[in-house]
Chains A and B, each alone.
Chain A
Amino acid sequence: MGVLPWVAWYAFRRHTAYPLGLAAEAVTNTAFGFMRAWILVALWRERPALGGYDVADAVTFCFLTQALIGPVQIFGGMELTRRIRDGDVAIDLYRPVGLQGWWLADDLGRAAGALLLRGGLPPAVGALVFPLRLPGPSGAAAFAVSLVLAVVVGFGLRYLVALAVFWLHDDRGPAAVALVMSLFFSGMILPLVAFPGLLGEVARALPWAALVQVPADVFLGKRTGADLAAALAFQAGWAAVLLAAGRLLTAAARRRLVVHGG
């Protein structure tokens, strides 16, 4: 076995080292879930069957996506950014392992920890108040695959933002843009199925749709058969494109590298 599964395992341990902090985040995600849910209920009562969802779909979507905030790191951010900014990336670049592979493994471990300690509470508490839809065994299995792909796409996007620091020396600009794109085009603010016309088509084709909208649709059973395969292929395609872009950008960063702080 190579080192990367160990990196993922130790990342899982590292990111679950402070369970109380994660529990506090889960409580926050749950509270905001209720606010979003009431807004969506009001919207779907006015526009029943909007985007092919009913009220139960909408509130399930809401609490599920609240559960995904941690695993797909919807608000952005990555430890690598700080390490590039203050020069600790020298340690990462010296290791006998590729930079992107190392941080992908680390992110998968982090996502598993976030799913375990942050992902359960919002749907569990939401189910006490609202009628949530749950998938069958095959739907759950498809959702698991879709979730892993969502995490990889999320990593791919955040990794590119982190690498931008090699050129920009600061990530606040790209991070702010990435946050807006991520919140709006992932479906976190409003399910993308409710976006009208061309805007909806464009939003559903962008990589951010792979973070939240596609896994949620798979969970709700909206994508089955060939449509399910197309959904997973959509996510896998974006994951491949983003990882390839990350690989190219890593090589470019190595060539123009300036290690900050001696």
Chain B
Amino acid sequence: MIEVEGVTKSFTVRRRTGRFRWSRTRVRAVDGVSFRVEPGEFVGYLGPNGAGKSTTIKMLTGILSPSSGTVRVCGLDPSRQRTALARRLGVVFGQRTTLWWDLPLRDSLTLVRHLYRVEAAAFRSRLAELSALLELEPFLDTPVRQLSLGQRMRGDLAAALLHDPRLLVLDEPTIGLDVVSKATVRAFLERLNTERGTTVLLTTHDLGDIERLCRRVMIVDRGRLAYDGGLAGLRDAVGADRQLVVDLARPAPPIALPGVQAVRVDGPRQWLRLPREANAAAVVAAVAERFEVVDIALRETDIEELVTRLYGRARDDRAAGR
């Protein structure tokens, strides 16, 4: 569905260096990125601000041309066959809208119908289906300027899907949404992927989106792909420890066991760091043998921590010239 091979995108940045002097610097927003996305996949594309995520999305959709490398999307070259590709692709830019501010949502969707040449009957049934799934009916006739952000985003999703694309590209679709709106959007995207088989590429800073929806994540940092794989693999790649939270009957000195380290003590509660290879059951048994234990919980490192560590590691590698 998507084939990206050695893609680089450079921009010239002008900086003022004196009253009448300017210097020009070539900045690589995307630096030799390669990946493939197969039909039916739901892939998260993560990275800090300025990492090159949006630039990649714009090259995939034909808005920008790569400086070098090749991009194929739905079998087409996006920058040369942009018009043909746009008819097979749905795109949502979370911080921008395809809807017309001063018109009711229904009018915007009708214009999108003409834009993608959707037959009247197909449009009616597709709009009914999307209205039901995204709960659009209560505000279909409301001007877009009067919609909440969550309603507008649902309208944008409907606009991106009216022509039933095989691939949906989402650039931060849940940015700024409240928890209820996020849940609605996530549930819809999950159904779209599992029931209709639509391939989805999602960029986001919301790691809840990734945990809920993506079986595969790609992490980009400073234009380079730092990780490509499953979430479980991400824990192994980062070498993430686990934590055992132990509530003792009474305060005690920091627990010391082979390979286990107490990283925090707060009254009777202690947080123990376990290496990934440690046998958690054996550690629990050892603690229970030595102390009176009231409660115990094993926690995996959460995804935010994992991603933060991965960003940091990628920067350290870059600094060391690796």
Contacts and interface: CB of A to CB of B under 8 A. Distances in A.
Nearest to A259: B58
Contacts of A1: 114
B280 to A, nearest CB: 42
Nearest to A88: B96
B125 interface: no
Contacts of A13: 102-103, 107
B100 A10 contact: yes
Interface in B42-90: 49, 54, 58, 61-65, 82-84, 86-87
Given A90-B93, A255-B65, A17 B87 contact: no
A91 B107 CA distance: 17
Contacts of A96: 82-84, 86-87, 115-116
Given A90-B63, A255-B65, A262-B54, A14 B100 contact: yes
Contact of A257 (B64, B93, B143): B64
Given A3-B115, A261-B95, A262-B95, A94 B107 contact: no
Contacts of B58: 90, 259
Contact of B63 (A3, A255, A257, A262): A257
B97 interface: yes
Contacts, number: 65
A50 B116 CA distance: 55
B61 A10 contact: no
A181 interface: no
A254 B62 CA distance: 10
A13 B144 CA distance: 14
Contact of A91 (B11, B87, B97): B97
Nearest to A169: B14
A120 interface: no
A258 B102 CA distance: 28
Which of A7, A17, A90 has the largest count of B CB atoms less than 10 A from its CB?
A90
Interface in A220-262: 254-255, 257-259, 261-262
B190 to A, nearest CB: 25
A95 B115 contact: yes
Contacts of A259: 54, 58, 63-64
A262 to B, nearest CB: 5
Contacts of B93: 90-91
A95 B63 contact: no
Nearest to B163: A96
B11 A17 contact: no
5 tightest A-B CB contacts, nearest first? A96-B86, A17-B102, A6-B114, A96-B83, A3-B114
18 contacts: A3-B115, A3-B117, A6-B111, A7-B111, A13-B107, A14-B100, A17-B143, A18-B102, A88-B96, A91-B97, A94-B63, A96-B84, A96-B86, A96-B87, A257-B64, A258-B11, A259-B54, A262-B49
